[in-house]
Amino acid sequence: MRYNAARVIMADLYLDDIEDQRAYTDEMILHDVRATVKAGLREGPTLDYKADVSEKDNWPEAAVAFANTFGGLIIFGVEGKGDQPRRLTGFDPKGVEIKTKLGSTLLSRIQPRPDFQIRVVAFDEDPTKEIAILRLSEGFQPPYMHSKGDEPRIYVRVGAQKTEAD
């Protein structure tokens, strides 16, 4: 049961058809993310959890790794231990438009430009918090590089980990 529920949830979160995405309401997204966490769906080749949208969580590197492999989802607002989600907590946007912040970080730090979609929903348990889902498609122009500092770096996804390519 747990495995099948997680597969359906992941299929919903990966909707490709733009009309299906529009019909996928914020309430449906929040329900599916909550069910994913409750099912204990671990991080893997196409899924990563982050507690916050801060770059100290290294989410841009995870985004590059997804673009360089099979694509994937980063769900922000989930606390975990290792690759195991523990609870859905949401994050404080601190007055920043999160969709803009995530998008501008991707566009300024990753080359070439990856194909991505961002959904941000209000966290119903705390109106001051949000949940965000960043969906990255498998890249058509690899290798994708993350630039922060002097030297661009290339990452790939191996299981539940991002690894720097040689």
In order of start, what are the domains of the chain with their CATH numbers? 43-164 (3.30.950.30)
Average pLDDT over residues 107-116: 94
pTM: 0.88
Tell me the average pLDDT across 87-113. 94
**Neighbour-count burial for 60-84, b at 16+ CB within 10 Å, e otherwise:** bbbbbbbbbbebbbbbbbbbbeeee
How many Cα neighbours within 13 Å face the side chain of 21? 12
* Higher pLDDT among residues 77 and 24, named by residue: 77
C-alpha 39/C-alpha 165 separation (Å) is: 32
Residue 12 pLDDT: 55
| DSSP code of residue 149 | S
